[in-house]
Amino acid sequence: MNNRLVLNNETKFNDAIKLLDLNGNGVLPVVDEDEKLLGLITDGDIRKAILNNYLDLEHIINKNPHKLHVDTSRNQILNYLKKIHRRHIPLVDDANKFIRVFTLDEIDFNLKPNWVVIMAGGLGTRLGELTKDTPKPMLKVGAKPMVEHIIDMFVSHGFTKFMLSVNYKAEVIKEYFGDGSKFGIEVKYLEEKKRLGTGGALSLIDIELNEPFFVTNGDVLSSLDYEKLLEYHKEQNAMATMCIRKDSYQIPYGVIEVDEENNIKAMKEKPIKEFFINTGIYVLNPQVLNNVPKDEFFDLPSLFELLKHEDENIKSFEITDYWIDMGKPSDYEKIQKDLSE
């Protein structure tokens, strides 16, 4: 529904609640009497206002919402929503007149059969006090836990079947997601009785997999196109694909190259070294599970080494989209800032 709230001197707080309920998508556009977009009100805004007993609409409205032109293509809208990590956006014309709200819910997804395994059992010790009572994947980023943002990105590409590997404070994650039905997804749990690593947890999969499946760390967020990644994996006839990302490091000294006789051959002042890093996102064929030891600590890079030794076809896929690993408090602060912009 595309009901909107016309803001004037007679508009009441209860009017916003009624229209939000009629829309049924958690968002209410606010317009002036000329139908020009003034802002948005969400379910979350209403809940905060009620809890704080502050019912002045002028202060509840988000007056600087993300918006796009009504002629923007669907693919462009989807890419933009992925970039800003939102599920809805108002569309306006050249005069800023509100036309409608585009939501991910209105898309007829071709739901994929592939499972997504999210490693959510880590201790998060580098985050210190932040993870004393909360498992790292459940730290709030904006209004949602980090792992829910990861799930949302996969869902936006039609992947709705998830396995969450849990260990540290597993009950917090299980209580939040349950079987996934309230989020419109399917959730199963791989319960580690002891820490098994990013590879060892795969030995707990107890259902038959007939399609390639994703594995991602529960503390990395990316806007990459997961459908494109899966397509690449299949086209390359790969047994396993690792997502990589280019990084660089500037050596803070002049670097000197010498030969065997100590003659100076070259001098480079504070050179920048470029290299690829493992992003913690993978696509694997079901057959690789035969290489995962039972009830042992085993990391996924070790699986790739094993597959390489067996001359299996293992590939890399470079990520050039947004990507961040929430390993340190400074990373957590950056993600909060990125998602608020």
The model carries a pTM of 0.66
Asked whether 206 and 286 are in contact (CB, 8 A), the reply is no
Q: Tell me the two tokens of residue 213.
A: 């499946």
| Cα 101 from Cα 67, distance rounded (Å) | 9
pLDDT the model gives residue 261 = 94
Give the E-state strand segments of the chain in sequence order.
5-6, 27-31, 37-42, 68-69, 88-92, 98-103, 112-119, 140-141, 144-145, 159-166, 186-191, 213-217, 220-222, 240-250, 254-258, 264-269, 272-284, 314-318, 323-325
Nearest-CA neighbor of 115 among 288, 285, 298?
285
pLDDT of residue 334: 79
User: What are the boundaries of each domain within the chain?
Assistant: 5-106, 112-232+282-302+322-340
Virtual CA dihedral for 2, 63, 7, 58, nearest 10 degrees? Answer: 130
Q: What CATH class is the domain 112-232+282-302+322-340?
A: alpha beta
For the segment 82-103, what is each residue's pLDDT rounded down to a tens digit? 667 677 899 999 999 999 998 8
Q: CA 183 to CA 5: how far, in whole Å?
A: 27
| Domain spanning 5-106, CATH architecture | Roll (3.10)
Question: How far apart are alpha carbons 227 and 114 in whole angstroms?
Answer: 11
pLDDT tens digits in sequence order for the chain, 341 residues long: 578 889 888 888 888 888 888 877 788 999 999 999 999 998 878 877 887 777 788 888 899 999 999 988 776 787 677 667 677 899 999 999 999 998 876 555 567 899 999 998 766 555 556 556 677 788 888 778 889 989 988 988 889 899 999 987 888 899 999 998 877 789 999 998 888 888 999 999 999 999 999 999 988 988 888 999 999 999 999 999 999 999 999 999 999 999 999 999 999 999 999 999 999 999 999 999 999 999 889 999 999 999 999 999 999 999 998 888 877 777 777 777 776 55
